[in-house]
Amino acid sequence: MAKTIAIIGDHFMLPEVFQDKILTLCGDGLSIRTRKDNWPDEPMEHGYAVQGMDGLKEYFGTADGVVDFIGDAEILVTQLAPMSRGMLQRLPKLKMIAVSRGGPVNIDMAAARDHGVLVVNTPGRNASAVAEFTLGAMLSETRKIREGHEALRRGEWRGDLYRADVTGRELNELTVGVIGYGNIGTKVVRLLRAFGAKVLVHDPYVQLSPEDAAAGVELVAFDRLLTESDVVTMHARVTAETKHMMNADAFARMKKGSMFVNTARGPLCDYDALYAALTDGPLGSAMLETFAVEPAPPDLPLLHLPNVTITPHIAGASVRTVTFAAEQAAEEVRRYLAGEPPRNPC
Q: What is the pLDDT along the chain (346 residues), one digit of tens a residue?
A: 679 999 999 999 999 999 999 999 998 889 999 999 999 999 998 877 888 898 898 899 999 999 999 999 999 999 999 999 999 999 999 999 999 998 899 999 999 999 999 999 999 999 999 999 999 999 999 999 999 999 999 999 999 999 999 999 999 999 999 999 999 999 999 999 999 999 999 999 999 999 999 999 999 999 999 999 999 999 999 999 999 999 999 999 999 999 999 999 999 999 999 999 999 999 999 999 999 888 899 999 999 999 999 999 999 999 999 999 999 999 999 999 999 999 999 9
Q: Is residue 345 part of a domain?
A: no
Give the H/E segment covering residue 20. Answer: helix 15-26
Could you tell me if 37 and 160 lie in one domain?
Answer: no
> To 5 degrees, how large is the angle CA 261–CA 168–CA 313?
25
Could you tell me if 48 and 164 lie in one domain?
Answer: no
The domain that contains 201 carries what CATH number? 3.40.50.720
Catalytic one of 265, 289, 331, 332? 265
Report yes or no: 94 and 69 within 8 Å, Cβ to Cβ. no
Q: Is residue 217 part of a domain?
A: yes
Categorise residue 282: left if φ over 0, alpha if ψ from -120 to 50, beta otherwise. Answer: alpha
The four Cα atoms 294, 297, 301, 302 give a dihedral, to 10 degrees, of 30
Could you tell me if 156 and 50 lie in one domain?
Answer: no
- pLDDT score recorded for residue 292: 86
At 83, the amino acid letter reads: M
Catalytic one of 16, 241, 294, 340? 294
Nearest to 118 by CA among 326, 266, 339, 282: 339
The answer to whether residue 85 is catalytic is: no
CA distance 158 to 83: 53
Could you tell me if 99 and 77 lie in one domain?
Answer: yes
Q: Is residue 154 part of a domain?
A: yes
CA distance 287 to 303: 11
Catalytic one of 35, 190, 313, 334? 313
CA distance 42 to 37: 9
Could you tell me if 99 and 143 lie in one domain?
Answer: no
| pTM (2 d.p.) | 0.91
3-state secondary structure of 47: helix
Q: Is residue 175 part of a domain?
A: yes
The answer to whether residue 115 is catalytic is: no
Could you tell me if 164 and 304 lie in one domain?
Answer: yes
- pLDDT score recorded for residue 77: 98
Show the beta-strand stretches assigned E in the chain.
Answer: 3-9, 30-36, 45-46, 58-59, 75-78, 96-99, 118-120, 175-179, 198-202, 218-219, 231-234, 259-262, 285-288, 308-310
Q: Is residue 164 part of a domain?
A: yes
Q: Is residue 248 part of a domain?
A: yes
CA atoms within 13 A on the CB side of 116: 6
Could you tell me if 192 and 300 lie in one domain?
Answer: yes
- pLDDT score recorded for residue 54: 85
The answer to whether residue 265 is catalytic is: yes
Query: Total structural domains in the chain?
Result: 2
Q: Is residue 229 part of a domain?
A: yes
Could you tell me if 110 and 157 lie in one domain?
Answer: no
- pLDDT score recorded for residue 1: 67
Could you tell me if 94 and 177 lie in one domain?
Answer: no
Could you tell me if 85 and 203 lie in one domain?
Answer: no
Q: Is residue 45 part of a domain?
A: yes
Report yes or no: 71 and 94 within 8 Å, Cβ to Cβ. no
> Residue 294 sits in which domain range?
127-310
Could you tell me if 181 and 265 lie in one domain?
Answer: yes
Could you tell me if 48 and 22 lie in one domain?
Answer: yes
- pLDDT score recorded for residue 295: 87
